[in-house]
Amino acid sequence: MGKFALLIGVGKYQSSSGFADLAAAEPDVVAMRQVLVEPAVGGFAADDVVTLIDPEPQQMREALERLFVDRKPDDLVVMYFSGHGVVDDFGKFHLTSVCTDKKSLNSKAIPAGFMHGLMEASRSKRQVVILDCCFSGAFANGMSVKGEAVNLQAQLGGRGRAVLTSSSATEYSFEQKGAVLSVYTQYVVEGLRTGIADQDGDGMISVRELHDFAKAKVQEVAPAMQPEIYAAREGYEILIAQALGDPELEYRKEVEKLAEERKGEFSTPILTALEAKQQKWRLTSEVAASIRQEVLRPYEEFAAKMLKYQQTLDQELRPGYRLSPEAWKDLQYLQQTLGLTDENIRPLVELVKIKTLPVKVVPPRPSESQTNNGPTATFKQPPVAILERKPQSISSIKRFSIPKRLIAGGIALGMGIVGFVGLQNLQSQTDPSRSNQESTPSTVEDLLKRGEEKYSKKDYQGAIAEFDQAIKLKSDYADAYHHRGFARRTLGDRKGAIADYDQSDQLKPTMPDAVPSVEVLPAVI
């Protein structure tokens, strides 16, 4: 049984091509080669792994032909590509070359049909195609796909074959800013190099296991990406590498399991337990810390993306006003670029909902010729329509469970203030009598109301004092804990805010990490 691989990376394109350069393409190829030729992992002979960086189309055609011809049925053949994928107006998929442009696909790109013909003619029954394609420029200028979707299964699939893709042809693949490898290849390499992709513990990594691992990790970083696998039944079980069985792998599996269960948040008891595991398996502190850092990196990167989206949303918001369609379109583009789903940003959007009343027609002042005789009154100007806005109090913010990692990262609650503090400043104008009401409270509801009023005037310590009194009178008053959490977070007391939200949710449970259903997102801001 032989093992043969062709690794192609195209990262440089002509300025007139319409394709952006991809810095990760060459490092992707280097990383894939390293893991395949590692004797304890891929086991490929170095001479049997061919690499092409920024090749001409003819080079690609010749290398592809050499890869698939003269193979035996049990030979393992791997073709990997990192670069732009492009689709013509008939939905036919192509791999780009260094000189591809969107107007000359037939002569300067490699059509899927060419590859499919070579694979069908090959005697190998263990063929693996891995496409880390960026589809940001997927469709050629002036072209649109005829049909509902690009059918990669029909164009590249077949018996004894598995095709793995970083995303569908209607989605983006992502190059992370500051990262060496593309997101998808990073986790394909990690799954092979560490052996963590060996899900059933049999010491071997199948194509199915590699796909499942890479997909799960990619979606932790970029939830909108949908890596796909196209294979017949036997294609899923093609073995592509062996898994390292050692203490480091066992520790990594334990960290992976805990990170998935706890969404990347490790409490002090969990860290203490992991320290005990580290000592049990005789790992150094440096090795254990490196494994934890690598496992938790996608969770941290996701939190960073959420923070970037939240900060941008904060900058766009104006108290009392909805976002313009143009602003919302720009935010949707940012969301897509960051790889965030609607569900990811829903808590952020819910916190800053601003409600407005219907348009109310207000007549202008009458002219000098107006009299009190009713029908004879005249106006120099027609009525003018204005929007009357209703202030929003802290009590009108809907309660829901907020993921602690968002609170601790400063992502969620800070922006909630934008939505109602500015509106509260309007309250003294629309209802000046409220600011003079400082009656002695007689019930916990009165204390809660006074706390809200002090909060609206930015007297956050005073608000907390009122909520404290309400809790002393009624220790199971969930709303008082909830409101005090807002005030504490405003003052920067994140630990206190989390404690209040936990207590509030225990007294008045909500679904964990959920928010109330909202309308179409542009309409709720």
- pLDDT tens figures, 385-415: 333 333 344 544 444 334 444 444 443 334 4
Of the pLDDT bands very low, low, confident and very high (cuts 50, 70, 90), residue 431 is very low
148, pLDDT greater than 70: no
> Tell me, what's the pLDDT at 60?
96
Burial of 308 (0-12, 13-18, 19+ CB in 10 A): middle
Instruction: Give the DSSP H/E element, type plus range, for residue 384.
Output: strand 384-387
Backbone angles phi, psi at 52, to 5 degrees: -130, 125
Of the pLDDT bands very low, low, confident and very high (cuts 50, 70, 90), residue 487 is confident
**261-313 residue pLDDT tens:** 888 888 889 999 999 888 877 788 888 898 898 898 888 888 889 889 888 88
H-only helix segments in 362-477:
404-408, 413-430, 444-456, 460-473
Q: Which residue has the tokens 């996608």?
A: 298
Nearest-10 Cα torsion for 296, 184, 339, 334: 110
- The fraction of the chain above a pLDDT of 90, given in percent, is 29
- Domain locations in the chain as residue ranges: 3-245, 317-355+390-524
CATH number of 317-355+390-524: 1.25.40.10
> Tell me, what's the pLDDT at 351?
65
> Tell me, what's the pLDDT at 261?
87
Domain 3-245 and domain 317-355+390-524, same fold? Reply is no
Helix, strand, or coil here: 476?
coil
Of the pLDDT bands very low, low, confident and very high (cuts 50, 70, 90), residue 509 is low
Through-space distance between the first and last CA atoms of the chain, rounded to whole angstroms: 61
State the average pLDDT over residues 155-168: 86
Q: Which of 266-275, 371-380, 426-435 has the highest mean pLDDT?
A: 266-275
What are the structure tokens assigned to 137, written together?
Answer: 């420029």
Q: Please give the mean pLDDT across all residues of the chain.
A: 76
Looking at per-residue confidence, does 383 or 448 come out higher? Answer: 448
212, pLDDT greater than 50: yes
Out of 3.30.1950.10, 3.40.50.1460, 3.10.180.10, 1.20.1270.360, the CATH code matching 3-245 is: 3.40.50.1460
The DSSP call for residue 307 is: H
Nearest to 231 by CA among 164, 150, 131: 164
| DSSP labels, 135-186 | -TT-B-TT---SSSS--HHHHH--TTEEEEESS-TTS---PPTT-SS-HHHH
Could you tell me the pTM of the whole model?
A: 0.53
Of the pLDDT bands very low, low, confident and very high (cuts 50, 70, 90), residue 92 is confident
- The fraction of the chain above a pLDDT of 70, given in percent, is 72
